Amino acid sequence: MAWSSVEREAYANDLGDERALIAVSAASNRSKADQDPATWLPSAAGYRCQYVTDWIADKTRWGLTIDTGEKVALTKTLSNCPNAPVTVTLAR
């Protein structure tokens, strides 16, 4: 299903979830670029559980799919995250 211009704008400017914008260094932002968890995870191992639960929450919030590579990486990372809750407020 294609998104309308209103939906694309709402997603791009989402401030309805505190996880939408996270301050990071320029170097960290460049290293991630447009990669997903299948090809990039934070270098700080202690932050990976938070990162993947936030990723899942955002995907769920906006009704986005998770491809096979993402699913494998997310499942593997979450296996090291005992009792990591994922809370979601749906955007649409």
Contacts by residues 77-84 (CB-CB < 8 Å, ≥ 24 positions apart): 77/37, 77/41, 77/48, 77/49, 77/52, 78/49, 78/52, 78/53, 80/48, 80/49, 81/48, 81/49, 81/52, 81/53, 84/49, 84/52, 84/53
Q: Is residue 48 situated within a structural domain?
A: yes
Q: Is residue 19 situated within a structural domain?
A: yes
Residue 78 scores a pLDDT above 70: yes
Q: Is residue 29 situated within a structural domain?
A: yes
pLDDT digits (tens, 9 = 90+) for 6-62: 999 998 888 888 887 777 778 877 878 788 999 999 988 889 999 999 999 999 999
Q: Is residue 46 situated within a structural domain?
A: yes
pLDDT digits (tens, 9 = 90+) for 49-72: 999 999 999 999 999 999 999 999
Which domain covers residue 63, as residue numbers?
Answer: 5-78
Q: Is residue 92 situated within a structural domain?
A: no
Q: Is residue 66 situated within a structural domain?
A: yes
Q: How many CB atoms lie within 10 A of CB 11?
A: 16
Q: How many domains does the chain have?
A: 1
